[in-house]
Amino acid sequence: MPEDGIWVATALGGHALVYAAHTATLVGELQTRHDTWPVVTAALGRVATVSAMMAAGLKHADHQITVQVSGDGPIGKILVVANGQGHVRGYAVEPHVELPLNARQKLDVGGAVGTNGYLGVLKDLGLKEPYQGSVPLVSGEIGEDFTYYFAVSEQQPTAVAVGVLVNRDYSVWTAGGVIIQMLPGASEEEVVHVEKAIAELPNVTTLLRDGETPQDIVRRVFGDDVHWLDHKTVRFQCSCNRDRLERVLLSLGREELDSILEEQGEAELVCHFCGDKYHFDAQEIVALRDAATH
Ligand SMILES: [Zn+2]
**Residue 294, pLDDT score:** 83
> d(Cα 14, Cα 183) in Å, to the nearest integer?
8
Task: Give the Å distance between the CA of 89 and the centre of ligand 1.
Answer: 8
Distance from residue 102's CA to the centre of ligand 1 (Å): 33
CA proximity to 140, closest of 262, 43, 18, 9: 43
Q: How far is the centre of ligand 1, averaged over its atoms, from the C-alpha of 38 (Å)? A: 22
Q: Tell me how far the alpha carbon of residue 32 lies from the centroid of ligand 1, in angstroms.
A: 14
Distance CA(101)–CA(176), nearest Å, equals 21
**Which structural domains are found in the chain, ordered by start?**
5-236 (3.55.30.10), 242-291 (3.90.1280.10)
Taking CA atoms, 52 is separated from 57, 132, 133, in Å, by 9, 17, 17
Distance CA 24, CA 208 (A): 10
Alpha carbons 89 and 67: distance in angstroms, whole number: 11
How many CB atoms lie under 10 A from the CB of residue 146? 28
Residues forming beta bridges with residue 16, ordered by sequence position: 11, 182
CA 27 to centroid of ligand 1, rounded, Å: 16
pLDDT of residue 198: 87
**107 three-class SS:** coil
Q: How far is the CA of 213 from the centre of ligand 1 (A)?
A: 31
How far is C-alpha 182 from the chain's CA centre? 22
DSSP assigned state of 31: H
Q: How far, in Å, are 17, 103, 251 from residue 99 at the CA level? A: 36, 12, 40
The verdict on pTM exceeding 0.75 is yes
**Ligand 1 center–CA 197 separation, angstroms:** 39
Distance 3 CA to ligand 1 centre (A): 23
What's the 242 CA to ligand 1 centre distance in angstroms? Answer: 10
Q: What is the pLDDT of residue 75?
A: 98
C-alpha 30 – ligand 1 centre gap (Å): 12
**pLDDT per residue as tens, the chain (294 positions):** 679 999 999 999 999 999 999 999 999 999 999 999 999 999 999 999 999 999 999 999 999 999 999 999 999 999 999 999 999 999 999 999 999 999 989 999 999 999 999 999 999 998 888 999 999 999 999 999 999 999 999 998 999 999 999 999 999 999 999 999 999 899 999 989 888 888 899 999 999 999 999 999 999 999 988 999 999 999 999 999 999 999 999 999 999 999 999 999 999 999 999 999 999 999 999 999 999 888
Centroid of ligand 1 to alpha carbon of 241 (angstroms) = 7
CA of 271 to the centre of ligand 1 (A): 5
**What is the Å distance from ligand 1's center to 4 Cα?**
21
CA 66 to chain centre: 8
